[in-house]
Structure 1
Amino acid sequence: MSHSQSLEDIEVALLLEAIYQRFGDDFRGYQKDVVRRKLHAFMLVHNISTISSLQDCVLHDSTFIAPLLCALDAHPAGLFDHPKHIRELRKVLIPWLRSCPAPKIWIAECATAEDVYTIAILLMEEGIYHKTQIFATGANPLLLSGAREAKFPREKLPQYEENYLRAGGTESLENYYTIVRGEPVFRSELNRNITWAQYNLGTDSSFNEFELIVCRGGLTDYASKLRRRALQVFYDSLPVFGILSVANSDYTDLLPLISRFTTLSSRHGLYRKLG
């Protein structure tokens, strides 16, 4: 490790500790490389040369903390942006949900509207949305509020339409959104069974039982200890045969916990809780 990188590691640790001590937001259990990459992107936008300078801004200028927390919490998410995963999920999920009288779905670490409405559209097309309750949670209130507005960038429509068809869409994507003041907005009927709530996967405990839990973004940002905690919360929140959908990742460090699930598709990060 170079001297400059070693010094920057100290700066990152000090910044994360300062954020926790001053604002209560805890990123100390995140993967350091992920945090460093997000910090560098934020610094480039705000023309800040060092992480120590960023810490000074955060502690002495109240306008910095909210956008910085959003940058650290954010993860890329597009509508049906993993089409093969959605096809596989549709195949294993729908028969399971059809057998449940009132299924519940938890979308954890929600950062964008697309995180939630991908699942809502899938359920609508399969004719089971009317009996399903979706809980969308995230630690960052600003990101959650933005997702709740149900908007998405118009320039992404061509890609989203292609993703939708590749994911096995049976209608036309335009059936699920409308244009409001030049912006695409998901139709209100898709929102009627969604509950939005602030929830911190790093500190909060299980709050309900869910037939499906989806965490496609934030889990990959966590270091081993925090991922272990999150997976335990998910396990505690699933009934027998409940399905967990997580980002495809290397979970070899968590084998004792993963062994309590049966693998439906390791390639697509789909697991079912064992009895």
Structure 2
Amino acid sequence: MPDKTEDIELKLLLEAIFRKYHYDFRGYSMASIKRRLTQAKEQFDCRTFSQLQDRTLHDPNVLPALLSYLTVQVSELFRDPAYFRVIREQVVPHLQTYPSLKVWVAGCGAGEEVLSLAILFREEGLESRTLFYGTDINPAALKKAETAMYELDRIPLFTENHRRSGGKSSLSDYYTAAYGSAIFDKSLRQRIVYSDHSLVTDAVFAEVQLVSCRNVLIYFERELQDRAIGLFVDSLPRKGFLGLGAKENLRFSRHADAFTDFARDERLYQKRGTL
């Protein structure tokens, strides 16, 4: 009975967040949400989700902290280097045929993946004709992404990832180290637009040739996964590319027939030429 009551409280808390602040987590995986909000409950010294709901509704300062729990912000530059190597070696030759390009990183967090693609596209001669969109629902993450500043102790991993992704220069060419941080070059940020966008409630905003949405769908229930993939289908032109995370695939999506496997092991898909 206690577990059932707790689940009711949890659903009411998510409903309250949606109605008050218009952030919709109701279609997220409940197991994941429950685990993360249990941690938040402990931080705010709340005995129950009902108490946390009361705090959330009546203290607007609580929501930003909750968003840091509800949105996963774990990433790194060139995370899963093989994914970026495939983009570099197999996707880029297709993209080179376009006079202008748009790339959408959905669920961009603190911007590591957007910056990775900007560096990759510069090395492959595509940056000057590409506009990069990084979207997320977490304002704090987007603010950090715009700084392009990361802790210096993360740089060795970033550097190794870049090398393994087929990097054609030294990562150190792209940042300046100061006061324990690495600040990436302003010129890399000139082609990047960061914006609030929800895969749960918002619509398509542009036609893009590449969508990268990695390690986001695993936190969604099936219906919400289908909604997000539907957005990607509508955003991509024929022969456009979609990249997912290592534990994600299109196998059970109702939109699976819209794509062909392009690089199955790296979860890269290509929209069919005819639909």
* TM-score in terms of structure 1 length: 0.93
CA distance in 1 between partners of 2:227 and 2:61 (Å): 32
**Amino acid across the alignment from 1:253:** F
1:173 maps to 2:171? yes
Please give the per-residue CA displacement for 1:177-230, whole angstroms capped at 9, x wherever unaligned: 112443211111111111222222212211211110111132221111111011
Q: Is the 8 A contact 1:76 1:217 kept in 2?
A: no
Deviation at 1:154, TM superposition (A): 1.5
**Amino acid across the alignment from 1:202:** V
CA distance in 1 between partners of 2:230 and 2:250 (Å): 13
Q: Is the 8 A contact 1:13 1:28 kept in 2?
A: yes
Q: Is the 8 A contact 1:113 1:152 kept in 2?
A: no
Deviation at 1:20, TM superposition (A): 1.0
Q: Is the 8 A contact 2:249 2:267 kept in 1?
A: no
Identity, in percent, stands at 35
The within-5 A match list for 1:1-275 is: 3-248=1-246, 249-254=248-253, 256-275=254-273
SS in 2 for 1:134: strand
Greater than 4 Å deviation, 4+ residue runs: none
**Amino acid across the alignment from 1:20:** F
SS in 2 for 1:76: coil
What RMSD over aligned residues (CA atoms) do the two structures have, in Å?
Answer: 1.7
How many residues matched?
272
**Amino acid across the alignment from 1:204:** D
Deviation at 1:250, TM superposition (A): 4.6
Query: Gapped runs of 5+ residues in structure 2?
Result: none
Query: Gapped runs of 5+ residues in structure 1?
Result: none
CA distance in 2 between partners of 1:206 and 1:62 (Å): 29
**Bigger shift: residues 71-80 or 92-101:** 71-80
**Amino acid across the alignment from 1:93:** V
Q: Is the 8 A contact 2:134 2:194 kept in 1?
A: yes
CA distance in 1 between partners of 2:141 and 2:258 (Å): 32
* TM-score in terms of structure 2 length: 0.93
